[in-house]
C-alpha cells in the first residue's frame, strides 16, 4: 500500500508517470483489492489480523500468505491496540492506496481502473464510518475504534483514520471532535501516545485542525518532553 502512495507522491513532485506506467500492474495489486471483503467493504486480513500486514507481490502478481502481523512499535507503545482482522489502521492505509491509485490510473488514461479504485475508496470510507467510528455515546470519547469486534480506541487508530481520509465527508463538528481527541491525548503525555513512527502523521492531523490553527502542532514540535518531537 505504501508503495502505491509513494508512487503517487513521486508523480505529484515530478509530474512524471514513468514509475507508475512501468509498475502499473504491481501498484494495482498493491492496493490490496483482493483482500477487501465485498460484503463489509473493509480490508480484511485473516488469519493474523496484524497492524500492518503486507502482501508481497511476486513476478506473476500472485499473493503470498500472511505468516503473522508486522508490528512497528513495542507492546508498551501501542496504547493497548486490539488486533482484529478488519482493523482501522490497515483500512486507513488501504483507503489512501485506492485514492492514490485512482489518481495514477486516471492520469494514465486507465479510466475503468480509476473508477473501480474510486468506488472501492468510497465504499471503504462509508463502511469505516459505519463500523469503525465511535460517536462517544458509549464512553464519551469520539474516535475510531481499533477494529470490528472491539470497542477499544487506541490513539493511533484515530490518527491514521484521519490522516488517510476515513473521516472525509463527516460534518465539521465530528471532524473537529476526532482531531480534538488526537490533540487531547497528546496533551496528556506531552507528546506521542503510541510509537514514535506516528509522530509526523500526528503533526499532519493537528495542522489539518482548522479550529486549532496549528497551535498544538507547533507546541508539540517545540516541546522537550520524553514523548515529544525532540525524541
Confidence band (pLDDT; 50, 70, 90) for 68? very low
Between CA 203 and CA 214 the distance in angstroms is 9
Enumerate the domain spans of the chain. Answer: 2-132+143-169, 173-231
More confident residue, 224 or 15: 15
Residues 157, 144 contacting (CB under 8 angstroms): yes
What mean pLDDT do residues 34-59 have? 63
Tell me the percentage of the chain whose pLDDT exceeds 90: 55
**Per mean pLDDT, which of 43-52, 167-176, 203-212 is the most reliable?**
167-176
Confidence band (pLDDT; 50, 70, 90) for 58? very low
Long-range pairs, 204-207, Cβ under 8 A, ≥24: 204/163, 205/159, 205/162, 205/163, 205/179, 206/179, 206/182
Residue 121 has pLDDT above 60, yes or no: yes
Between CA 75 and CA 81 the distance in angstroms is 9
DSSP conformation class of 55: P
Signed CA dihedral, 211, 215, 219, 221: sign only: positive
Residue 96 has pLDDT above 80, yes or no: yes
More confident residue, 143 or 197: 143
**Per mean pLDDT, which of 25-29, 103-107, 135-139, 222-226 is the most reliable?**
103-107
User: Any idea which of 59-68, 115-124, 150-159 has the lowest mean pLDDT?
Assistant: 59-68
pTM of the model: 0.87
Determine the angle formed by the axes of helices 111-131 and 88-107, rounding to 10 degrees: 160
Residue 63 has pLDDT above 70, yes or no: no
Class of domain 2-132+143-169: mainly alpha
Cα-based torsion angle of the residue sequence 49, 45, 100, 109 in order, rounded to the nearest 10 degrees: 170
What mean pLDDT do residues 108-125 have? 97
- Residue 65 sits at φ, ψ, to 5 deg, of -75, 155
Amino acid at each position: 500500500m505504501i508503495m502505491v502512495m509513494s508512487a503517487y507522491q513521486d508523480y505529484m513532485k515530478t509530474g512524471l508517470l514513468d514509475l507508475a506506467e512501468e509498475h502499473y500492474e504491481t501498484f494495482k495489486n498493491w492496493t490490496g483489492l483482493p483482500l477487501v471483503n465485498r460484503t463489509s467493504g473493509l480490508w480484511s486480513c485473516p488469519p493474523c489480523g496484524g497492524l500492518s500486514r503486507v502482501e508481497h507481490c511476486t513476478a506473476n502478481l500472485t499473493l503470498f500468505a500472511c505468516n503473522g502481523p508486522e508490528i512497528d512499535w513495542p507492546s508498551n507503545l501501542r496504547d493497548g491496540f486490539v488486533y482484529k482482522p478488519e482493523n482501522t489502521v490497515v483500512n486507513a492505509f488501504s483507503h489512501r492506496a485506492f485514492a492514490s491509485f485512482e489518481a495514477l490510473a486516471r492520469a494514465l488514461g486507465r479510466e475503468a481502473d480509476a473508477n473501480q479504485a474510486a468506488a472501492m475508496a468510497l465504499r471503504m470510507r462509508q463502511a469505516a464510518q459505519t463500523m469503525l467510528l465511535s460517536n462517544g455515546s458509549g464512553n464519551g470519547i469520539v474516535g475510531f475504534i481499533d477494529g470490528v469486534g472491539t470497542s477499544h480506541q487506541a490513539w493511533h487508530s484515530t490518527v491514521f483514520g484521519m490522516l488517510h481520509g476515513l473521516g472525509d465527508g463527516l460534518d465539521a463538528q465530528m471532524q473537529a471532535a476526532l482531531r480534538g481527541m488526537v490533540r487531547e491525548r497528546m496533551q496528556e503525555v506531552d507528546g506521542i501516545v503510541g510509537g514514535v513512527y506516528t509522530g509526523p502523521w500526528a503533526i499532519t492531523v493537528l495542522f489539518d485542525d482548522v479550529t486549532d490553527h496549528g497551535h498544538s502542532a507547533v507546541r508539540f514540535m517545540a516541546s522537550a518532553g520524553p514523548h515529544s518531537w525532540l525524541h
